[in-house]
Amino acid sequence: MTKLREKMIREMQLRRFSERTQKSYVMAVAALAKHYGRSPDKITNTEVQDYLLYLMKERKLAWSSCNIAVSAFRFFYSKSLCDESIHLSIPPRKNRLQLPEVLSREAVEKLLDCTTNLKSRILLMATYSAGLRVSEVVCLKPEHIDGSRMTIRIEQSKGNKDRYTILSGRLWEEMQYYLKVYRPTIWLFYARFRDKPMHITTAQRIYNAARRRAGIIHGRGIHTLRHCFATHLLESGVDLRTIQELMGHRYINTTIRYLHLTHARLSSVKSPLDLGSCPSEEGKPC
């Protein structure tokens, strides 16, 4: 590890940045250095801006990815190098509501039935039944599962917060068998070596493989199961505040968007085409 990277990580640790943020920032600065083939402290302000244009125009990265790069560069130059001469900014994205895709309950059941082994099945069941982020499910430990209180403890998730969510009775029944067969020690879903947690990309692959076998064409990404959790609870009559707490949303507005996805809400409204004919004079169209 270079001294520059060491210093950058130390500065982030002092500010209590999450592990995920530290990794994202380090990767962004490393990619910048690789692009120009030299140390990042030798790269000029103009070159950094040119690189951002390259990310936007040629690589066509999403606004969020470019914003992470900007934040990483700004932190590296201003905090690690103490250089305030580099000014970076990108215009804020236009406000737009993008509704997540949601699977029906029948599709979720079909997805679970198309897993190839017990570990994959329990992983997807836990993600859906508790509304977990993929980063949360792969970091679960056996002691986080409380069968007596029927809760799952999530430690230091997004925003460095702990929370409890529900443990499904059906999941707990199948998980007890899983615990006997796989005997996890440190991590509930361990990787090839038991002292390492399953990687996020492995969990994504498990989901996508099951989705393809189930013949489900939408709902790409394991995060779909978290969306399904919130939407299906709303359709069952659970209040928004409870769902907000279970999902660990900081703001209720984040949870409110699931109102747009509930089937019960949409199906209760009739299309004007189904409302019947409009009154008209005999022989004349209305």
Q: Which residue numbers are catalytic? A: 133, 158, 223, 226, 249, 258
Instruction: Give the separation between CA 250 and CA 3, rounded to whole angstroms.
Output: 36
Q: At what angle do helices 3-14 and 63-75 cross, to 10 degrees?
A: 100
d(CA 78, CA 58): 27
Where on the phi/psi map is residue 276: left (φ > 0), alpha (ψ -120 to 50), or beta? Answer: left
Q: How far apart are the first and last CA of the chain?
A: 77
Identify whether the C-beta of residue 250 lies closer than 8 Å to the C-beta of residue 258: no
DSSP assigned state of 67? H
